[in-house]
Structure 1
Amino acid sequence: MMSSLFDLTGKTALVTGSSQGIGLALAKGLAESGASVLLNGRNAERLADASASMPGSVGLSFDVTDAEAVKQAVDSYEANCGPIDVLVNNAGMQLRGPLEAYDPADFDRLMRTNVNSAFYVGQAVAKHMIGRGAGKIINIASVQTALARPGIAPYTASKGAVGNLTKGMATDWARYGLQVNAIAPGYFKTPLNEALYTDADFSAWLETRTPAGRWGEVDELQGACIFLASSASSFVNGQTLFVDGGISVSL
């Protein structure tokens, strides 16, 4: 009985930004729980490599910041291949810099990638889910959804928006049988954080600041994703689950 709560056999999951890092780890976790996985990315070569590392997965290349491209890709897959039962809005980027000197063009680019994409893909997929009366949407937020750190104010703003967009999606779509939640990772060794984990001083500070005393490993995010994608979370809606070694709850 308990194992069936987390069984994703027969479900199809789309994970955006899944050619590397957290997205690829989440895709692998969903696949190991039985889901058929659609990988997404803009870099065709990297996406092909990711697909090759996951037998049975399908690459679905489209630009998550292009609303029309998103709609065409989602509608085409739904019409020709079948339903998307689970969406993980993982695509994101980081552009660090002092706020007083931050380029407005970089701010716009970061917001399009981190926030607009979650709206575009979420809306495109939800329209089909609503018609079926069921669906799971998982937005990837961040520990910066709740906390700030010098040099990343625009990123913090974007992830705060993802947290509140998650609440709004749940409020609008729960009545149609959808569950919309978010995962907020702490500090994990990913390509996005390479500048941080290769900095010995920062790593030492982080390990002291985090109650668990270490960086997270991307596979440690899989359990939260499987839970939110499965029937085990059938009455969980609008929540942000922090997976951060305790950093967000400790001074």
Structure 2
Amino acid sequence: MNIATNARVALVTGGSAGLGLALSRALAEAGWRVITDGRSAEKFKEADLADGVTVVVGDLTDADHRAELVAHVTAYGRLDLLVHNASTLGALPMRPLAEVDVPDLAHVWRTNVGGPLVLTSTMLPWLREADGVLLSISSDAAVNHYEGWGLYGASKAGLDHVTLTYGAETGLTAYAVDPGDMRTAMHQDAFPGEDISDRPQPETVVPHLLALLDARPESGRYRAEDF
């Protein structure tokens, strides 16, 4: 592999808003080279990303988009951190499992589990070379059971399992991290018409994620607030 930069390189999916945007900014400010993606070019225009962040617009479930991400990593010649942050709640408003159909399942699992699974496999050579970290953003809905959250929660449980199995199979350091409730557009979508201003901003979660990366404990499932 031809290493084109001495700076650490991170790929953060879903970086146009929320936690992905906040983490991409913080990593770039700390000297990382960051590649991030998202489906909305308009959101990225509003994002005010720092220097050192490369934006790739597209859908993670699309093979051509993943190939574009691979090309950017190849250009750097290294990958120290892969963050699976992009996800979907599925059809809104969220519904109980008895009202969910196969197309709903396919959409949520394709985005929340399938895309990250396949992207990880393509990035393994670089992650292994750099002794890198695989970090997936989970949810407390992956382990707890809330009305209407069954499909999303199951997909996050699946993402946890895929992430930590990659760690077991490859020896990579792998984390599934519950960031806690945040004041994001996705969280607002889950609670239409409700005031969620009491939830913390995603920027408050980033220092905990950076502390986790600095501490680098053994692979496992963690809560961001514990770091």
TM-score tier, shorter chain, comes to 0.7 to 0.9
- 1:53–1:74 distance in 2 versus 1, CA, 3 Å: closer
Aligned mate of 2:17, from 17, 20, 35: 20
Structure showing greater Rg: 1
- Aligned-pair distance for 1:103? 2.9
Whether contact under 8 Å (2:77, 2:126) holds in the other structure is no
Find the aligned partners of 1:60 and 1:68 in 2 and give their Cα distance.
Answer: 11
The residue number in structure 2 matching 1:162 is 159
The percent of aligned pairs where both chains have the same amino acid is: 26
Find the aligned partners of 2:70 and 2:14 in 1 and give their Cα distance.
Answer: 19
Find the aligned partners of 2:33 and 2:70 in 1 and give their Cα distance.
Answer: 18
The residue number in structure 1 matching 2:101 is 103
Q: Output one character per residue of 1:105-128: Cα deviation in whole Å (capped at 9) or x when no partner.
A: 122101111111210221111132
Aligned mate of 1:56, from 29, 52, 58: 52
Find the aligned partners of 2:142 and 2:154 in 1 and give their Cα distance.
Answer: 8
Aligned mate of 1:141, from 138, 142, 148: 138
Please state which structure has a larger fraction of its residues in helix: 1
- 1:188–1:133 distance in 2 versus 1, CA, 3 Å: closer
Whether contact under 8 Å (2:32, 2:52) holds in the other structure is no
1:186 aligned onto 2:183: no
Whether contact under 8 Å (1:74, 1:125) holds in the other structure is no
Whether contact under 8 Å (1:14, 1:39) holds in the other structure is yes
**What number of residue pairs does the alignment pair up?**
217
Structure 2: gaps spanning 5 or more residues: 1-5
Structure 1: gaps spanning 5 or more residues: 1-8, 208-213, 246-251
Q: Output one character per residue of 1:155-207: Cα deviation in whole Å (capped at 9) or x when no partner.
A: 01001111111220110121xxx21112112221111011427415xx6xxx9
Find the aligned partners of 1:49 and 1:92 in 2 and give their Cα distance.
Answer: 20
Find the aligned partners of 1:148 and 1:68 in 2 and give their Cα distance.
Answer: 36
1:222 aligned onto 2:206: yes
TM-score by length of 1: 0.78
Find the aligned partners of 1:80 and 1:103 in 2 and give their Cα distance.
Answer: 41
TM-score by length of 2: 0.85
The residue number in structure 1 matching 2:112 is 114
**Cα root mean square deviation, aligned:** 2.3
SS in 2 for 1:150: coil
